[in-house]
Amino acid sequence: MNVPLLSVEGLTKTFGSGRNEATAVAGVSFELPEGGALGIVGESGSGKTTTARMIIGLERPTAGTIRFRGEDRTKPARRASELRRRGRQVQIVFQDPYTSLDRRQRIGDCLAEVVGVHFRLSRGQIRARVAELADLVGLDDRQLHAVPGALSGGQRQRVAIARALAAEPEVLILDEAVSALDVSIQAQILNLLADIRSARGISYLFISHDLAVIRQVTDHTIVMRHGQVVEQGPTGQVLDTPAHPYTRLLRDSVPQDGWDPLALDLGAGIR
């Protein structure tokens, strides 16, 4: 029996208590196979990011389980070494890398710091690994010596991807990772991610409101609304012949003529 790389079962998250209790995620279940790419789509407030934050360990689930290669990650790590191992297994890239980068730290030092935390390497080996990561995501030596403010949005997102890959994760979560970029830069980043997946066999969990992005980079898709999964299946099937009215509404919200994929805002008019 093949154990999924990542398995989420009955994942639930509530905030507050009593009359003020609100459910952000309710009974979400899905599987991500090794080398696979799963899309999570839905409007703002549908629970996509909260789901990602629980998987990465930034939020603790109220109920349900998250298993990585069969190991229950919902239980607190007992040792610092276990916490670091979990951090290596799953990494995340957020929408705006500028807010998650130290504005005073040079890019090369940022990458070297992550490599040094996760691996026992000499200074020379760390420098070589940083150069390898830079080459992988298309950063040159000048950019490695720059601070984040000197880089473009697309270059900063490449840094964010390189920083996540520095831990050599098996799962990379991308939370609206290209939505803030213009169309041409977005296409470059998506092509980069496809190349990395092909070369490294990494698995992606891609969160987006943009159906064009989901179609391009994922194999399977789940659709979330009000914290629940309303539909899931192969991406082409879900987007081309949706079974749930909400999925059809999302698809029909996409302008058909002169369509700019970045102009799509699924939160508009859908409540």
Question: How many independent structural domains does the chain possess?
Answer: 1
Which amino acid does the sequence have at 130?
V
* Sheet strands side by side (includes 6-15): 22-32, 6-15, 63-68, 71-72
pLDDT at 174: 94
Residue 259 lies in a domain: yes
Residue 234 lies in a domain: yes
Residue 66 lies in a domain: no
pLDDT at 256: 58
* Residue 250 lies in domain: 34-58+76-263
Residue 268 lies in a domain: no
Please tell me which residue, 56 or 178, carries the higher pLDDT value.
56
Helix axes 153-165, 183-200, angle to 10 degrees: 20
Residue 183 lies in a domain: yes
Residue 22 to residue 14: CA distance in whole angstroms:
6
Residue 13 lies in a domain: no
Residue 79 to residue 5: CA distance in whole angstroms:
22
Is the pLDDT at 122 greater than 90? The verdict is: yes
Q: CATH number, domain at 136?
A: 3.40.50.300
Cα of 225 vs its chain's centroid, Å:
18
Sign for the pseudo-dihedral over CA of 237, 243, 244, 246: positive
For 52-70, write each residue's pLDDT tens digit. 999 999 999 999 999 999 9
Which secondary structure element, helix H or strand E, spans residue 89, and what is its range?
helix 80-89
Is the pLDDT at 260 greater than 50? The verdict is: no
- Count Cβ atoms within 10 A of the Cβ of residue 259 and give its class: 0-12 exposed, 13-18 middle, 19 or more buried: exposed
Of 185-194, 198-207, 222-231, least confident by mean pLDDT is 185-194
For 85-102, write each residue's pLDDT tens digit. 888 999 999 887 778 788
Residue 247 lies in a domain: yes
